Amino acid sequence: EDLHGMTKLRILKIRLTSETSLETLSASIGGVRHLEDLEVEYEGSKRMKLDGTLLDCMNLKQVELNIRVPILSDGLH
């Protein structure tokens, strides 16, 4: 969902699903210029590409990223 209409938003907590990427998140919150606190939680088995993602939030003071991925035993790879 696009958050560009919420320009005064200061705190945002998001739980990503396997279908959502950090690139999609970055595009969605690009217009939220007053964002100060961002917390992102991801729990799933799909790999996430973290490098190259740009969050264009000039006032961002705190970012918390929680990623939980189940660990497979050697026989399940």
Please state the domain extents for the chain. Answer: 11-70
**56-74 confidence digits (pLDDT tens):** 667 788 888 887 777 766 6
**13-32 confidence digits (pLDDT tens):** 888 776 776 677 777 777 77
What is the C-alpha to C-alpha distance for residues 11 and 30, in angstroms, rounded to an integer? 14
pLDDT greater at residue 54 or residue 20 = 20
What is the C-alpha to C-alpha distance for residues 47 and 1, in angstroms, rounded to an integer? 22
Contacts of 28 (CB under 8 A, 6+ apart): 1, 2, 3
Give me the pLDDT at residue 42, please. Answer: 78
Q: Which two tokens stand for residue 25?
A: 């998140």
